Amino acid sequence: DAMVIQNPRYQVTQFGKPVTLSCSQTLNHNVMYWYQQKSSQAPKLLFHYYDKDFNNEADTPDNFQSRRPNTSFCFLDIRSPGLGDAAMYLCATSYRVSQPQHFGDGTRLSIL
């Protein structure tokens, strides 16, 4: 089945230690998104790629970076995680912006 896959499902890192989360898709969608979701809150868009064009949200901290080496893969890099970065990180894809997005099951990030 075509889908969005996030690895790992659970990630633990230390305060200040860089961490990378990965997302892959078999849908061949043009757009890939990264969201941060904290407990009992709605997802918050961090950035998205339309093909290779990177679009950062204005309030996304500089600590968060992303890479999309090809159509299928997208990575979220957190350069120096703080305690406030503990959250669920969701990857999503869509064929075009404004069309329904397909979500992965997320990576839950814990900071020690």
Partner 1 sequence: AQSVTQLDSHVSVSEGTPVLLRCNYSSSYSPSLFWYVQHPNKGLQLLLKYTSAATLVKGINGFEAEFKKSETSFHLTKPSAHMSDAAEYFCVVVPSNTGKLIFGQGTTLQVKP
Rg (CA), the chain: 13
Q: Quick check: 40 binds partner 1 (CB under 8 A)?
A: yes
Count of residues engaged in binding partner 1, rule: CB under 8 A: 21
Q: Which two tokens stand for residue 37?
A: 């979701």
Find residue 75's DSSP bridge partners.
22, 67
Q: Which two tokens stand for residue 39?
A: 């407990």
Span near partner 1 by CB under 8 A; candidates 14-22, 58-66, 71-79, 103-111: 103-111
Q: Are 105 and 9 in contact (CB under 8 A)?
A: yes
Closest CA to 29 of 77, 96, 83: 96
Q: Quick check: 75 binds partner 1 (CB under 8 A)?
A: no
Q: Quick check: 101 binds partner 1 (CB under 8 A)?
A: yes
Q: Quick check: 70 binds partner 1 (CB under 8 A)?
A: no
Nearer to partner 1, 5 or 71 (CB): 5
Q: At which residue do the structure tokens 């600590």 appear? A: 63
Binding site for partner 1 (CB under 8 A): 4, 6, 40-43, 45, 88, 90, 92, 96-98, 100-106, 108
